[in-house]
A and B are shown apart, each in its own frame.
Chain A
Amino acid sequence: MEFKDYYQTLGVSRDASADDIKHAYRKLARKYHPDLNKGADAEAKFKELGEAYEVLKDPEKRAAYDDVGKRWQGGGGRPPPDWNAGYEFSGADLGGDFAEHSDFFEALFGRAARGARARAQGMPRGQDHHAKVLIDLLDAYRGAQRSIRLHAPALDAQGRLSMAERTLDVAIPIGVREGQHLRLAGQGAPGFDGGAAGDLYLEIGFHPHPLFRVDGRDVILDLPVAPWEAALGATIDVPMPDGSVTLTIPAGSAEGRKLRLKGKGIPGKTPGDLFVVLRVTLPREASATQQQAWRSLAQAYQGEFKPRAAMEVK
């Protein structure tokens, strides 16, 4: 178990006031919030911020955390055997339902915060659950059956919360897109007193694909082409997420030219388009004969091709 330095995460000193902590958190949270920052590590960073703030904003938790920190340091960087025992907390506040905590946090503060919410409302129907799942782009083109493994807190026989794992076999519908939700009726939390189970919502994301990028319904492919293919035009076999097509590159195509394959994006009532972006690529090396060929090309264009005409230097 690794000790988490929550003060360092928020960039505040150990004697920071409650206001300092709030200020630091708000500023960093705006910067790294996954709804605002699409960067790859923003989500992980934001989770750390949230956890640090959850502890440091609450005087009880902060005191317990500070105490553990002192004992931990006393042990030469190793946790004392019962480092997390004997801390008691009032109530289960905070929207812990969005938060996933580190092992360190859960060992110290427990997981009770999450389970407690379900009963608070006294509704006979079980809570609806949410989970994020990643599928392949091809699944959205063809539909698929996927086994999805989920972890959720559940009460064990002793009435304690622990993480239970279950596997669901789900029919992924054709045409589902990133950010959309699949509803699985009755797969949420069990109901109380004979009430119906809640539903499970799966938020869809795509595994990164080595060739294709996805933008809503549209799919984008960067296609390397040789300079002569761009200049003279060419007929090229191009991979598609669910097969391949033969594409005609028009003569005189510039670097970055986008060719639209209408309706070849993610299928649906309004299917997306697939955009092929031409990337003019130069050979890495040139033999003596090939260098000669480039020189003849230069000669043939002498005085006629001026790529820097707009930025002439006096």
Chain B
Amino acid sequence: MKGSMLTILQCQVVEEELELSLGELCQACGAESDLVGQLVAHGVLEPRGDSPQGWVFVGASLQRTRQAMRLMHDLELNLPGVALALDLMEQIRQLEQQLQAAARSPRGG
């Protein structure tokens, strides 16, 4: 695996160009499918499709799943805890955006 490579590797932006099946998401995150199923059950992930075999996850699910796994591992959170933490973090993000938009709107002068 050593040695320099001369070819330029092409890549895809996961969040923009890709959708993932359950298997692909598990592989990409090193997650058990059970865990992903639980994240879906708690509304952390919202795939299209009715059954686990048919689930299609948007690319951003990769980031969200890894974040959930980090929080569960690092902060020893359980699933309801991690679902709550992610919801609150999302709310903070939206509020920060609104705050910035509000700071932008009043005209100078």
Contact = CB atoms under 8 A, between A and B. Distances in A.
B62 A36 contact: no
B95 to A, nearest CB: 14
B2 A166 contact: yes
Given A125-B27, A182-B11, A256 B75 contact: no
Contact of B71 (A33, A166, A170, A258): A33
A252 interface: yes
Contacts of A35: 67, 70-71, 89
Contacts of B107: 257
A202 B100 CA distance: 29
B27 A183 contact: no
B28 A29 contact: no
A179 interface: yes
B9 A254 contact: no
A201 B2 contact: no
A29 B13 contact: no
Nearest to B93: A216
A105 to B, nearest CB: 16
B73 A95 contact: yes
Interface in A261-285: 268-269, 275, 278
A14 interface: no
A127 B30 contact: yes
B11 A173 contact: yes
B34 interface: no
B75 A201 contact: no
Interface string A167-199: 111110101100111111001001000000011
A88 to B, nearest CB: 25
A154 B1 CA distance: 9
A164 B1 contact: yes
A181 B12 CA distance: 8
Nearest to A49: B74
Contacts of B12: 173, 182-183
B76 A182 contact: no
Given A128-B27, A260-B104, A187 B74 contact: no
Interface stretch (B14-22, B39-47, B48-56): B14-22
Most central of B11, B16, B71, B76 by chain A CB within 10 Å: B11
A26 B77 CA distance: 10
A270 B103 CA distance: 22
A162 B67 CA distance: 28
Interface residues of A, number: 54
A199 to B, nearest CB: 7
Contact of A187 (B9, B66, B71): B9
Most central of B8, B9, B109 by chain A CB within 10 Å: B9
B67 A201 contact: no
A173 to B, nearest CB: 6
Contacts of A117: 30
Contacts of B59: 181
A272 to B, nearest CB: 13
Nearest to B27: A128
Given A98-B73, A201-B28, A201-B62, A169 B11 contact: no
A254 B18 CA distance: 44
Contact of B11 (A30, A171, A198, A258): A171
Contact of A29 (B74, B104, B108): B74
B86 to A, nearest CB: 9
Contacts of A164: 1-2
Interface of A: 22, 26, 29-30, 33, 35-36, 46, 50, 95, 97-98, 117, 125, 127-128, 130, 145, 154, 164, 166-171, 173, 175-176, 179-184, 187, 190, 198-199, 201-202, 215, 250, 252-254, 256-258, 260, 268-269, 275, 278
8 contacts: A26-B75, A169-B5, A181-B13, A181-B63, A182-B11, A182-B13, A183-B11, A199-B28
